[in-house]
Amino acid sequence: MTLNDGNLVETLDAAQATMGERLGGFTPEVGLILGSGLGPLADRIEDPSFVPFGEVPGMGVSTASGHVGRFVAGMLGGKRVLAMQGRLHGYEGYTAQEVAFPVWLMERLGARTLVTTNAAGAINESYRVGEFCIMADQLNFTGRNPITGTAPDAMAPRFFSMLDAYDPELRALAHRVADELSIPVQEGVYLGLLGPSFETPAEIRMFRKWGADTVAMSVCEEVIAARHGGMRVLGISLVSNMACGVEGASPSDEEVHEVGEARQEDFCCLIEGILEQL
């Protein structure tokens, strides 16, 4: 079923029915989106059920490197989670609503909390590669918003506040767990772009003046959809590289995945620790 604004609600109904059948009535508490280099966390989910994106009505398939492109449902950190092992991006050719679609689906299936993760470049020169950054706020520079059109207005009010889009209590919890595990974390403003080209040094200098600390090519549309649906949101980036021009950096996709692999264990411990205390 091809997704468009005219059939968004109908397609969500079909996707919800399909997932209900495939998961046997499993009701997630938490939706979890695993970004570039971070997908192996899904391998720790207990008693997993797998549903490839392409088998869900309205869902696109993931074409990004390292993104498996499936839902994984089960227990993680003592919570019922529905994880996306990989995500959809605008740079793959998907519309804002197609990127947001799985978030709306998670909310419909019962998830009231969204934990979204990604790999990001550091604009803030005090950050170091391999650190984690808790998202305090976002700058949506994709030029898109999934709530445009008529269908989302039928699902929830069209106009809604983005104050504390990243839940303060969840951010405090993430800091507390990181401290307990002796995992260094930062907190800052995330800027999302459409991609797929990395940013220019001039753009990075501009973004720094805007107040951005990290930058990547995902998350913003997901968070807007989650807040539209009333979900609480926690966002965590792995600083996989310094942004273009910072300390002479010239980012590459290979670097992103290498850092993700190197920081996999701490990432898994951090997310599981947060889930255990939710």
Residue list for the binding site for phosphate: 36, 67, 87-89, 119, 218
Q: Which amino acid is at 149?
A: G
- Give the number of other CB atoms < 10 A from CB of residue 45: 20
Cα distance between residue 104 and residue 120, in whole Å: 24
Residue partners of 143: CB distance under 8 A and separation at least 6? 194
Cα distance between residue 78 and residue 160, in whole Å: 32
- Give the number of other CB atoms < 10 A from CB of residue 163: 7
What sections of the chain are H helices per DSSP? 8-23, 96-109, 151-155, 168-181, 201-210, 220-228, 253-262, 264-277
Cα distance between residue 48 and residue 102, in whole Å: 18
Binding residues for a purine D-ribonucleoside: 199, 241
Nearest to 116 by CA among 96, 101, 135, 130: 135
Q: Which amino acid is at 136?
A: A
**Residue 34, helix vs strand vs coil:** strand
Cα distance between residue 108 and residue 146, in whole Å: 16
Record the tokens describing residue 269, joined without a space. Answer: 């411990």
Distance of alpha carbon 267 from its chain centroid, rounded? 14
Q: Which amino acid is at 29?
A: E
Record the tokens describing residue 118, joined without a space. Answer: 């990604």
Binding residues: 36, 67, 87-89, 119, 199, 218, 241
- Give the number of other CB atoms < 10 A from CB of residue 159: 6
